[in-house]
Structure 1
Amino acid sequence: MERRGLLASLVAGGTAGMCVDLILFPLDTIKTRLQTPQGFYKSGGFRGIYAGVPSTAVGSFPNAASFFVTYECAKCLLHPGPSSYWSPIAHMAAASLGELVACLIRVPSEVVKQRVQVSPSSTTYQMLARTLHEEGIRGLYRGYKSTVLREIPFSLVQFPLWEFLKDLWSWKQGHVVDSWQSAVCGAFAGGFAAAVTTPLDVAKTRIMLAKTGSSTANGNVVFALHSIWKSQGIKGLFAGIVPRMTAISLGGFIFLGAYDKTRSLLL
């Protein structure tokens, strides 16, 4: 992949990611509070809806930029020529690699953000200092495995579906899709992927927010899912599905549309 394309992916991905995360932050707060064991209102309800936003503001650009740089590079390496059979596999593998890299930045930001979202009386700096004091650097990476186990299935659904819908639309109209059409495809792909991966998102939230030393804090996703199922059933596993689908559908529209538009302008 040439240097210009690499720089375009970095700037486009980072800009799109930061816009989405900051615009849709209130929906993310509502979703997190719905997923907590203590429930929505005890976690803050609609109070302090922007609690934790500094953590997102700092981590959003490098997180999204690292994902798209890895995604585009891996896509070029894995898919050098046209092949309808190989394309979805290349897109899945590239997205998975992108998530592994991006989560190294995303998880510390997410841990601090979610803890502030359910404790709106604490500032982002106070929560960061408390986490480092009580758990060290490992505390910031609590939930890395569960985040990766959420993000990879999500990307395995979202990105091949996004690329397929763009190709289908391009074929139907006889030319490459416009940015707004790419955004529509991104919204549909994101909403569908969000719905099917909600239980993994709930498990990730519980692991990140669990009390230090508890069984859930160990990061075992299967244990977390089983505990949620035992205590709350199917409703607990899909807690926050509506704001999650709404946020990710809107996010997919803005994120993937803005990414395509910014990248095409830079190139």
Structure 2
Amino acid sequence: MDNRISYSLDEKTVEREIFDEDDINTTPTQRLDMADAQKKRFQKLFDRLDINKDGRIEASELAIALRASSGAISEDDVKVFAKGIIADADQDEDKVLDFAEFAAYMQEHEEGLRLAFSDLDKNKDGRIEPSEVKAALTKLGLSVTMQEAVNLTKRIDKDGSVSLSWSEWRDFFQLYPSTHLEDMVRYWRKSLMIDIGDSLTCPPDFTSEEKQTGRAWKHLVAGGLAGAISRTFTAPLDRVKIMLQVHGSKANMGILSGLKQMIKEGGVKSLWRGNGTNIIKIAPESAMKFAAYEQIKRMLKGDSTEISIVERFAAGSSAGAIAQTCIYPLEVIKTRLAVSQTGQFKGILDCGIKVVQQSGPLALFRGYLPNLIGIIPYAGIDLTIYETMKQIYIKKNGGNKDPGVLVLMACGTFSSTCGQLASYPLALVRTRLQAQATVEAQGGMITLAASIWKQEGLRGLYRGIAPNFLKVLPAVSISYVIYERSKTWLGI
């Protein structure tokens, strides 16, 4: 079997044959040149990593290099990777690496990288093309468009060829400890599941291996736990937002006066009224949305090997609508609890029973229509702006630098804010309808929207948006920290 690959060593291309017993069909001179070039490269990398110039590499020095090489990996991953490299390479168990240990480790590590490179390089021309990247991701169970495969390739590509040489591949993964293709792909296309109090437009895509081993559900659990904690921290602002949406115009209420009024009426504990429902709905909503998203993707894709951005948006929006329909009664109960007075309801179940007794079962779906309509502008703007900002960043950096955690968080925060601005009037109408004691109280969606516009103008349709924006930054920050910690606890 011909397994010819071509790879570059210090601007010098060497043809190498890989046989079953690693029999290399090269001349002694070529092998000496390769060994010399490799040793020089290892020495150069060793000197760069040896920050204090004591002739040894410590885990802390490796961590600094890992942070600089890819902003996409978390601080926990940085520590795990650094300690993992030291543990694998440290032959005398002194917890530091001298050059001999480092060179031996790198030589073995590069053999694994070379095999992974050869596995992707299906036509054995010594370069990995976007089509080969796409084929590899499809084999792992990830549906990506050709453009997404091109974008992934550009993250590593340094010479602008939109294909990957061995040296580009090797340099990108040289400090990543695993040589298993599934792990390398995860590192390559690192993404975040950050909860800012609103649902993700499109659930993340997971590989077949991640689904089969349960890693996908562990990610969802980590995201759910992060969402629960971040929502609990920002719950007072969320309740103020609801109070402003429902009572703001009548009570001439502001953020501070609203907080004071709630504390005066029910004590500090009342600031978290309705938060229990907000947390309870995270698990079923995330699970149903993920399951529906996967099923709808399969239906849209059919016999095709890829799914377009538009189809992914349609799948995400449809999955969101299905999940929202199933858990919507909890949304109504959350709003009723938030605007209730102390002692009005004994808890979530009591609130639900009283709503049904007073207004009938359909009252648990009051405001459903504006909620459903609001998914489209929010999801469309959120996804479009997020992807656009991410691509602008990648292009400005020549396609070589991964966006990283802070950039992805900034893109997600800004895109979500824009989505909220577009859909907020519908969200306000939904909340007003949810809070109604009877169906006839303020009319339906159109009647209520017209009434708000007539009495309060544009400002009335955006009442309560200030606390909504104020909670975004702390929600994102808390959610990210807890999400990364949860991944460590869950072993992912």
TM-score computed with the length of structure 1 as normaliser: 0.80
User: Are 2:376 and 1:152 aligned?
Assistant: yes
User: Are 2:274 and 1:58 aligned?
Assistant: no
Work out the CA distance in 1 between the residues paired with 2:384 and 2:334: 29
Other-structure match for 1:140 = 364
User: Are 2:308 and 1:92 aligned?
Assistant: no
Moved more, 105-114 or 198-207: 105-114
Unaligned ranges ≥5, structure 1 = none
Unaligned ranges ≥5, structure 2 = 1-140, 142-207, 264-269
Moved more, 235-244 or 151-160: 151-160
Other-structure match for 2:42 = none
Work out the CA distance in 1 between the residues paired with 2:335 and 2:447: 20
Output the aligned Cα RMSD: 3.4
Give the 3 Å change call, closer, same or farther, for CA 136–156 of structure 1 in structure 2.
Answer: same
1:33-80 CA distances to partner (integer Å, 9 max, x unpaired)?
111144446898342211112211211222234334444665576577
1:171-210 CA distances to partner (integer Å, 9 max, x unpaired)?
4442433333322211111111112222111101111112
Other-structure match for 1:129 = 353
Work out the CA distance in 1 between the residues paired with 2:317 and 2:274: 27
2:221 alignment partner, one of 5, 11, 23: 11
Q: Which amino acid aligns with 2:246?
A: T
User: Are 2:389 and 1:168 aligned?
Assistant: no
Other-structure match for 1:45 = 261
1:25 alignment partner, one of 222, 227, 235: 235
| 3-state DSSP of counterpart to 1:139 | helix
Give the 3 Å change call, closer, same or farther, for CA 57–63 of structure 1 in structure 2.
Answer: same
Greater Rg by CA: 2
| Percentage identity across paired residues of the two chains | 24
Structure ranking higher on relative contact order (CA contacts 8 Å, 6+ apart): 1
Work out the CA distance in 2 between the residues paired with 1:77 and 1:251: 34
Asked if the contact 2:377/2:422 (under 8 Å) is kept, the reply is no
| 3-state DSSP of counterpart to 1:49 | helix
Asked if the contact 1:202/1:238 (under 8 Å) is kept, the reply is yes
| 3-state DSSP of counterpart to 2:272 | coil
Alignment of 1:99-118 (within 5 A): 99-118=320-339
| 3-state DSSP of counterpart to 2:340 | coil
User: Are 2:410 and 1:184 aligned?
Assistant: yes
Q: Which amino acid aligns with 1:229?
A: W
Q: Which amino acid aligns with 2:283?
A: F
Moved more, 182-191 or 55-64: 55-64
Asked if the contact 2:359/2:439 (under 8 Å) is kept, the reply is no
**Higher helix fraction (1 or 2):** 1
Q: Which amino acid aligns with 1:14?
A: G
Work out the CA distance in 2 between the residues paired with 1:258 and 1:69: 24
| 3-state DSSP of counterpart to 1:212 | coil
Asked if the contact 1:187/1:248 (under 8 Å) is kept, the reply is yes
How far apart are 1:255 and its partner, in Å?
A: 5.5
Q: Which amino acid aligns with 1:247?
A: K
Work out the CA distance in 2 between the residues paired with 1:215 and 1:18: 33
Give the 3 Å change call, closer, same or farther, for CA 236–107 of structure 1 in structure 2.
Answer: same
How far apart are 1:133 and its partner, in Å?
A: 1.9
| 3-state DSSP of counterpart to 1:57 | helix
TM-score computed with the length of structure 2 as normaliser: 0.46
Alignment of 1:207-246 (within 5 A): 207-214=433-440, 216=442, 220-246=444-470
Q: Which amino acid aligns with 2:241?
A: K
Give the 3 Å change call, closer, same or farther, for CA 136–213 of structure 1 in structure 2.
Answer: closer
Asked if the contact 2:259/2:271 (under 8 Å) is kept, the reply is no
Work out the CA distance in 2 between the residues paired with 1:11 and 1:137: 31
Asked if the contact 1:107/1:147 (under 8 Å) is kept, the reply is no
Q: Which amino acid aligns with 1:191?
A: T
